[in-house]
Amino acid sequence: MTVLSVNINKIALLRNSRGRNYPDVQAFAARCLDLGAQGITLHPRQDQRHARYSDVETLGALCQARGVELNVEGYPAPEFLDVVKRNKPAQCTLVPDAPDQLTSDHGWDLRKDADFLRPVLAELKAMGIRSSLFVDYDNMDLHLARELGADRVELYTEPYAEHFGSAHAEVIFQGFLAAAKRAQDAGLGVNAGHDLNLDNLAKFLSIPGVLEVSIGHAVIVECIESGMQDVLTKYSKICRAC
């Protein structure tokens, strides 16, 4: 079974737009878990325009109480790492986001960024926090993630989502299939995320051994369209079938 980790950022964005705790991020996350999600993801960016560093503590407590994992994503700036060290989530996914970046749009260059990432990954390991690196599917250096000290990689799936249903879909899918195998052959666990949704997830999870998918934007939009219970039930069914 693949773990479904719901990214709560868009709920935090709605909350911040009104200046008070509505919608309640913790309550929404709890409802997702009630309806079948197996984990929660939070990606506090450096400007905290949606998820805030304080949300890491709140959702960490929720996940611990529920016996599920919190995955904290972000660029490993000092203040981000301080939050991770204080709260010790089950997993920390390092993402190469610029401070003003709208959304994640590329993975790490595992050769160029090696000297930067290696000590960060060592710190996470020393604290017992599982680490994951956000990577592109066509990166031929995925084995280096293991050498740098990462436990997993998260495949950036926007290219798959963008081409899903097109004439190029199968070629792109085969590229992701090959990437997952390269990572697994190197001893890495494989996660995935970005623009996965109810339409394209089942095909993606035909890739063997995907451990976790992190889905946020699509889940929130689909919940608005169809209701939380219907949407989370469908996601859970897809993930349990894999």
Query: Could you confirm whether 43 is annotated as catalytic?
Result: yes
Token pair of 25 as six digits: 């991020």
- Check 50, 69, 73, 212 and give the catalytic one: 73
- Check 50, 69, 154, 194 and give the catalytic one: 194
Query: Could you confirm whether 168 is annotated as catalytic?
Result: no
Helix (H, G, I), strand (E, B) or coil at 17: helix
| Rg (the chain; Cα; Å) | 17
Query: Could you confirm whether 73 is annotated as catalytic?
Result: yes
* Number of CB atoms found within 10 A of residue 218's CB: 21
- Check 43, 50, 69, 212 and give the catalytic one: 43
- Please state the φ and ψ torsions of residue 40, each to the nearest 5 degrees: -130, 140
Integer Cα distance of 138 and 23 in angstroms: 38
* Number of CB atoms found within 10 A of residue 122's CB: 13
Integer Cα distance of 87 and 28 in angstroms: 20
**Which residues are part of the catalytic machinery?**
43, 73, 194
